[in-house]
């Protein structure tokens, strides 16, 4: 019996099946290939793939785990499938969004036209925790603020795509995209010669180009470094991996020092100047002199060197303001204001609790909405109204009333599903998608992105910190199928 | 190269080499015991403890130097920083901090090494299994060195790694040679008997030196064995060889020509190496082999301290 025979896509948008037993036309070849293998064989390869990831050390650290042990991000061998035609739309939509967001960030830290024209209320910006006063007046090289972005997308029940949230500060996950692909190639080489799957491997080269683009043009051999909080950070593997793939130096705050007005690193032959930093620490930890005084991760005096244009930082400090979920809600207005275009890739409808009318609606419909804290990420600080108990909802209502600015609400979406191998059978599991976008000389979107999958039955939460796993994402040109 | 990175590569190699040599200590004793007459003579694990230099640490936590206690302490004790498990764990932590600088293959080897030792520790390995375990620790360490040699550019970082490995090896070869000093023969009259010879041969084997020794010397005598492990210019585990190679790596790092010095580490290592080069075995035995080895270890520690000061502890301001 073919292994996908009993699979029921259920009342959801399934990425591989239109109905039980009927694959989507674009995915038919893939389904055929999967079914040429027995379930035992698939399980064996799944296990081998996980072992490979473990040996490669493709792991993340768990903050709450005192052992300091690393875990692999659980990996499922059934790929997530994106037809090329849909991908083209996503790519255009993402480029448009990043361009508008970059204009917005530059504007609010400089002329504030969008506030003066009252397109976005001034108090929304000034009350955002990610808005950093010391960044006012900054002019980053080529006016680029968000060089690296990971935008979370989801597909609803009717098959249409939405942007769920923006991650402009220091989005992680791209190393899993690259390593998952490597593991899939060695586990299922025969799938790759039959399908026209868009390669992802040039990400590191594009990232290095993006960073070199920031260095002063008079330098022949600029020094690019990746700044990590250190080996105990949950994304340390990725920091190290990207540095390695780019041939850049991986540094910690303690390796760096500001001397004679320049940023320098401590080497075995004395101090050496640093020209470009790809920073993987949050905005407020970058420089204890400018932001959080208790930060042990950053470099004292770095912001002044940056302001003088003697070092470039990606992403620019202050970029985090656009991660605020309230500001997310204004992206359609930004696109209209800066680009004079209509949004190609829609937002999820969003209710702002700061608005009296909208808040009233939210409080009356808590049992069907998802409420999120505007300054949180990673699946923390949210209420899934549909699954919460009455006391949980009541408690959350109090929080909203106390600090309306801190919350937004969205309808409970029915995330699309992909067959996933769990305990020797296929189950439909909900997925989202985080493509990675680089903003340098032009805007580049790595084809595919990180597909995160909710491995707990029925769960909609895909975050790695909350029991999620990942899949390889295949953008497939259909002509070849 | 970043000072922190140089430090991590140096210690990554020292710890792998240390794990290998702890396996060598234990292995020599396990094999010696198999040849010791069973009657009227208790198993000696005390000598191995003495050579590690960590006898006090052992006594704080274990009551007697039984085979089981010593093996546990030296192999799987997580609290003891120089147990095989702790060494491999530290090696891996250091590798993890410089993954982008070393080759992927090196990381995979040290990670696999660690996962394997950890599994053995959790499985509650029996004494019988240990006879196979220690040789495999040695092989895993050789594999790491080989992978490093064949996959990493022989650049500054590589030379820091070599420096760490060779200084550790020199120190540990000295300690292995010293084991015999502590091992008691059943009676003074046993000196020079077949049993005494067997012990010396076991010692050579634990340094993987027996076959190479035989090609040079026909007879097994304490003097020529000591000479081989101390002064042989060609055998890769001899102290003389290790120091010579360590010195070359150090000079590749600094760019100073051999025979001169610009750092204290070069001065102390160069002096130690040339002192050894012009030492005769008569002088060694005159001062006493044990005393000679003891002094050598102190001098090696001084070299290590200077390496730290010269390259790792770069002051804040220029």
Give B313 to chain A, closest Cα distance, Å: 9
Alpha helices in A155-301 (DSSP H): 174-187, 189-194, 203-212, 236-246
Tell if the CB–CB gap between A244 and B314 is shorter than 8 Å. no
Radius of gyration of chain A (CA): 23
Domain count, chain A: 1
Residue, of B102 and B178, whose pLDDT is higher: B102
Q: Is B4 at the interface with chain A, CB within 8 A? A: yes
Q: What was the pLDDT predicted at A283?
A: 86
Q: What was the pLDDT predicted at A121?
A: 92
Q: B317 in a domain, yes or no?
A: no
Q: What was the pLDDT predicted at A466?
A: 65
Residues of B in contact with A278 (CB under 8 A): none
Rounding to the nearest 10 degrees, give the CA dihedral for residues B189, B191, B192, B196.
120
Exposure string of A191-213, with b = 16+ CB inside 10 Å and e = fewer, is: beeebebeebeebbeebbebbbb
Domain count, chain B: 1
Q: B117 in a domain, yes or no?
A: yes
Q: In whole angstroms, what is the distance from residue A88 CA to residue A259 CA? A: 47
Give B257 to chain A, closest Cα distance, Å: 17
Exposure string of B267-296, with b = 16+ CB inside 10 Å and e = fewer, is: ebbbebbeebeebeeeebeeeebeebbeeb
What is the arithmetic mean of pLDDT over B23-52? Answer: 75
Q: In whole angstroms, what is the distance from residue A455 CA to residue A460 CA? A: 9
Q: Each residue's pLDDT tens digit in chain A (481 positions)?
A: 678 888 888 889 999 999 998 999 888 888 998 999 999 999 999 999 988 888 777 776 655 444 446 677 889 999 999 999 999 999 999 999 999 999 999 999 999 999 999 999 998 898 888 999 999 999 999 999 999 999 999 999 989 999 999 999 889 999 999 999 999 998 888 888 888 899 999 999 999 999 999 998 788 899 999 999 988 888 888 999 999 999 999 999 999 999 999 999 999 988 999 999 999 998 888 888 888 888 778 899 999 999 999 999 999 999 999 999 999 999 999 999 999 999 999 999 999 999 999 999 999 999 999 999 988 776 677 888 888 889 999 998 999 999 998 999 999 888 999 999 988 889 999 999 999 999 999 999 999 999 999 887 767 666 666 668 999 999 998 764 4
Q: Give the closest residue to A413 by CA, choosing from A114, A154, A184.
A: A154
What is the DSSP pairing of strand A75-83 with strand A425-434?
Answer: unpaired
Give the strand order in the sheet containing A270-273.
A256-259, A262-267, A270-273
The H or E element spanning position B188 is none
**Residue to substitute from A50, A57, A59, interface B, most B β-carbons within 10 A:** A57
The H or E element spanning position A370 is strand A369-373
- Among all residues of chain B, which has the CA nearest to that of A246? B100
Tell if the CB–CB gap between A241 and B3 is shorter than 8 Å. no
What is the DSSP code string of A294-353? T-SSS-TTHHHHHHTTSSEEESPTTGGGGG-HHHHTTHHHHIIIII----SSPBPP-EET
Beta strands in A37-147 (DSSP E): 59-61, 70-72, 75-83
Q: What was the pLDDT predicted at B205?
A: 85
Tell if the CB–CB gap between A231 and B156 is shorter than 8 Å. no
Q: A260 in a domain, yes or no?
A: no
- Residue A362: domain span: 351-411
Give B5 to chain A, closest Cα distance, Å: 9
- Among all residues of chain B, which has the CA nearest to that of A232? B97
Would you tell me how many other CB atoms lie within 10 Å of the CB of residue B124? 8
Enumerate chain A positions whose Cβ falls within 8 A of a Cβ in B. 54-57, 226, 230-231, 236-237, 240-241, 243-244, 248-252, 254-255, 257, 259-260, 264-271
Q: In whole angstroms, what is the distance from residue A318 CA to residue A321 CA? A: 6
B220-251 confidence digits (pLDDT tens):
888 899 999 999 999 999 999 999 999 999 99
Q: And the tokens for B211?
A: 């076959």
Tell whether the model's pLDDT for residue B148 goes beyond 70. yes
- Among all residues of chain A, which has the CA nearest to that of B111? A55
Would you tell me how many other CB atoms lie within 10 Å of the CB of residue B315? 9
Q: In whole angstroms, what is the distance from residue B309 CA to residue B265 CA? A: 8
Contacts for B121-128 with beta carbons within 8 Å, 24 or more apart? B121/B75, B121/B76, B121/B78, B121/B85, B125/B76, B127/B67, B127/B68, B127/B71
- Among all residues of chain A, which has the CA nearest to that of B103? A244
- Residue B138: domain span: 3-312
What sign for the dihedral angle of Cα B220, B221, B224, B229?
positive
Exposure string of B193-215, with b = 16+ CB inside 10 Å and e = fewer, is: eebbebbbbbbbbbbebbebbee
**Residue to substitute from B2, B7, B159, B250, interface A, most A β-carbons within 10 A:** B2
Q: In whole angstroms, what is the distance from residue B133 CA to residue A25 CA? A: 55
Q: What are phi and psi of A146, to 5 degrees?
A: -100, 95
Tell if the CB–CB gap between A268 and B100 is shorter than 8 Å. no
Q: What are phi and psi of A474, to 5 degrees?
A: -110, 115
Alpha helices in chain B (DSSP H): 3-35, 46-52, 55-61, 67-75, 84-97, 104-122, 127-151, 156-182, 194-206, 210-216, 222-231, 239-254, 264-277, 281-287, 289-307
Give A61 to chain B, closest Cα distance, Å: 12
For chain B positions 104-123, those within 8 Å of chain A (CB to CB) are: 104, 107-108, 111-112, 115
Give B289 to chain A, closest Cα distance, Å: 37
Report CA A156 to chain centroid distance, whole Å.
19
Give B111 to chain A, closest Cα distance, Å: 7
Q: What was the pLDDT predicted at B39?
A: 53
What is the arithmetic mean of pLDDT over B8-25? Answer: 95
Range ranked top by mean pLDDT from B34-38, B120-124, B244-248:
B244-248
Among A237, A240, A257, beta carbon nearest to B316: A257
N-to-C CA span, chain B: 16
| Residue bearing tokens 């590589």 | B158
- The packing angle between helices B156-182 and B239-254, to 10°, is 160
Q: B318 in a domain, yes or no?
A: no
Among A248, A268, A270, beta carbon nearest to B156: A268
| Furthest CA-CA distance within chain A | 72
Would you tell me how many other CB atoms lie within 10 Å of the CB of residue A303? 24
Is the ipTM above a cut-off of 0.85?
Answer: no
Q: A150 in a domain, yes or no?
A: no
Q: What CATH number does the domain containing A374 carry? A: 3.30.1490.270
Please tell me whether the overall predicted TM-score, pTM, comes out greater than 0.90 for this model: no
Q: How many contacts, defined by CB atoms under 8 Å, are there between A and B?
A: 72
Tell whether the model's pLDDT for residue B280 goes beyond 80. yes
Q: What was the pLDDT predicted at A442?
A: 93
Residue, of B41 and A93, whose pLDDT is higher: A93
Q: Give the closest residue to B186 by CA, choosing from B29, B43, B65.
A: B43
Q: What are phi and psi of B79, to 5 degrees?
A: -80, -20
**Residue to substitute from A258, A268, A280, interface B, most B β-carbons within 10 A:** A268
Q: Where does the pLDDT of residue B46 fall: very low under 50, low under 70, confident under 90, or very high at 90 and above? A: confident
Q: What was the pLDDT predicted at B216?
A: 85
Q: What was the pLDDT predicted at B127?
A: 73
Give A299 to chain B, closest Cα distance, Å: 12
Would you tell me how many other CB atoms lie within 10 Å of the CB of residue B56? 8
Among B2, B107, B314, beta carbon nearest to A249: B2
User: Are residues A332 and A114 in contact, defined by beta-carbon separation less than 8 angstroms?
Assistant: no
User: Are residues B203 and B182 in contact, defined by beta-carbon separation less than 8 angstroms?
Assistant: no
Q: A382 in a domain, yes or no?
A: yes
Q: Give the closest residue to B243 by CA, choosing from B304, B306, B169.
A: B169
List Cα–Cα distances, B41 to A212, A345, B128, B194, B198, in angstroms: 72, 84, 21, 16, 16
Give B94 to chain A, closest Cα distance, Å: 10
Residues of A in contact with B312 (CB under 8 A): 268
Q: Give the closest residue to A430 by CA, choosing from A465, A466, A468, A464.
A: A468
Residues of B in contact with A243 (CB under 8 A): 100
Q: What was the pLDDT predicted at B188?
A: 65
Among B2, B100, B108, beta carbon nearest to A266: B2
Is it true that the peptide bond before A170 is cis, omega within 30 degrees of 0?
no
Residues of A in contact with B111 (CB under 8 A): 55, 57
Q: What was the pLDDT predicted at B51?
A: 79
Q: What was the pLDDT predicted at A453?
A: 93
Q: In whole angstroms, what is the distance from residue B210 CA to residue B218 CA? A: 11
B180-207 confidence digits (pLDDT tens):
777 766 666 666 677 778 888 888 888 8
Give A55 to chain B, closest Cα distance, Å: 6
Among B98, B107, B156, beta carbon nearest to A57: B107
């Amino acid at each position: 019996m073919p292994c996908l025979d009993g699979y029921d896509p259920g009342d959801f948008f399934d990425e591989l099946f239109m109905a039980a037993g009927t694959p989507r036309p674009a995915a038919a070849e893939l389904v055929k290939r999967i079914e040429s293998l027995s379930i035992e064989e698939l399980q064996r390869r799944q296990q081998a793939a996980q072992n490979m990831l473990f040996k490669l050390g493709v792991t993340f650290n768990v903050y709450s785990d005192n052992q300091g042990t690393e875990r692999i991000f659980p990996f499922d061998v059934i790929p997530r499938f994106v037809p090329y035609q849909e991908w083209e739309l996503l790519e255009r939509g993402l480029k448009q969004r990043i361009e508008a967001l970059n204009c917005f960030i530059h504007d609010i830290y400089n002329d504030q036209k969008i506030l003066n024209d009252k397109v976005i209320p001034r108090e929304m910006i000034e009350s955002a925790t990610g808005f950093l006063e010391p960044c006012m007046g900054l002019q980053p090289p080529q006016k680029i603020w968000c060089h690296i972005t990971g935008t979370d997308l989801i597909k609803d029940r009717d098959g249409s795509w939405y942007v769920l949230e923006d991650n402009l500060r220091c989005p992680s996950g791209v190393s899993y995209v690259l390593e998952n692909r490597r593991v899939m190639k060695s586990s299922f080489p025969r799938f790759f010669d039959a399908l026209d799957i868009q390669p992802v491997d040039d990400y590191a080269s594009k990232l290095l180009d993006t960073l070199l683009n920031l260095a002063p043009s008079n330098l022949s051999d600029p020094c690019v470094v990746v700044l990590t909080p250190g080996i105990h950070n949950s994304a340390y593997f990725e920091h190290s991996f990207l540095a390695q793939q780019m041939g850049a130096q991986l540094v910690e705050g303690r390796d760096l020092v500001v001397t004679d007005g320049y940023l320098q690193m401590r080497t075995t032959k004395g101090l050496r100047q640093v020209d470009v930093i790809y920073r993987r620490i949050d905005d407020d930890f970058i420089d204890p002199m400018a932001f959080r005084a208790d930060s042990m991760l950053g470099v004292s005096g770095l912001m002044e060197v940056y302001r003088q244009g003697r070092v470039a930082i990606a992403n620019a400090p202050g970029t985090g303001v656009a991660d605020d979920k309230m500001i997310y809600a204004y992206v359609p207005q930004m696109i209209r204001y800066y680009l004079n275009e209509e949004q190609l890739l829609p937002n999820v409808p969003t209710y702002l609790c700061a608005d009296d009318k909208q808040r009233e609606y939210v409080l009356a419909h808590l049992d069907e909405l998802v409420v999120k804290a505007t300054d949180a990420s990673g699946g923390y600080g949210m209420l899934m109204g549909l699954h919460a108990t009455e006391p949980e909802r009541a408690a959350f209502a109090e929080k909203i009333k106390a600090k309306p600015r801190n919350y937004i609400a969205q309808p409970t979406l029915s995330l699309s599903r992909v067959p996933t191998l769990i305990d020797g059978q296929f189950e439909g599991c909900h997925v989202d998608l985080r493509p990675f976008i680089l903003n340098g000389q032009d805007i580049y979107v790595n084809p595919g992105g990180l597909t995160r999958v909710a491995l707990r039955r029925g769960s909609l939460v895909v975050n790695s910190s909350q029991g999620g796993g990942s899949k390889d994402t295949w953008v497939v040109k259909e002509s070849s199928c | 190269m970043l000072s922190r990175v140089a430090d991590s590569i140096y210690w990554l190699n020292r710890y792998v080499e240390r794990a290998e040599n702890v396996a060598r200590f234990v292995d020599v004793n396990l094999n010696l015991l198999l040849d010791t007459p069973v009657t009227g003579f208790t198993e000696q694990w005390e000598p191995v403890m003495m050579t590690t230099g960590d006898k006090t640490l052992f006594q704080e936590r274990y009551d007697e130097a039984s085979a089981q206690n010593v093996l546990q302490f030296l192999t799987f004790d997580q609290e003891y920083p120089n147990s095989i498990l702790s060494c491999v764990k530290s090696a891996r932590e250091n590798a993890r901090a410089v993954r982008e600088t070393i080759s992927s293959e090196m990381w995979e080897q040290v990670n696999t090494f660690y996962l394997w030792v950890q599994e053995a520790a959790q499985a509650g390995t029996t004494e019988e299994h240990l006879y196979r375990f220690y040789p495999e620790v040695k092989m895993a360490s050789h594999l790491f060195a080989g992978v490093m040699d064949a996959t990493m550019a022989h650049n500054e970082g590589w030379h820091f790694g070599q420096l760490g490995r060779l200084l550790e090896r020199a120190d540990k070869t000295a300690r292995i040679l010293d084991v015999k000093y502590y091992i008691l023969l059943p009676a003074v009259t046993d000196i020079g008997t077949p049993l005494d010879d067997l012990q010396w041969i076991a010692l050579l084997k634990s340094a993987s030196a027996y076959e190479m020794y035989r090609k040079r010397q026909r007879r097994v005598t304490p003097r020529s064995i000591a000479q081989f492990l101390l002064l042989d210019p060609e055998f890769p585990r001899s102290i003389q060889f290790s120091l010579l190679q360590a010195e070359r790596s150090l000079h590749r790092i600094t760019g100073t020509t051999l025979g001169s010095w610009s750092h204290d580490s070069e001065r102390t290592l160069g002096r130690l190496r040339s002192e050894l080069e012009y030492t005769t075995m008569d002088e060694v035995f005159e001062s006493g082999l044990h005393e000679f080895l003891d002094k050598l270890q102190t001098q090696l520690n001084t070299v290590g301290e200077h390496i730290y000061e010269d390259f790792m502890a770069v002051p804040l301001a220029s």
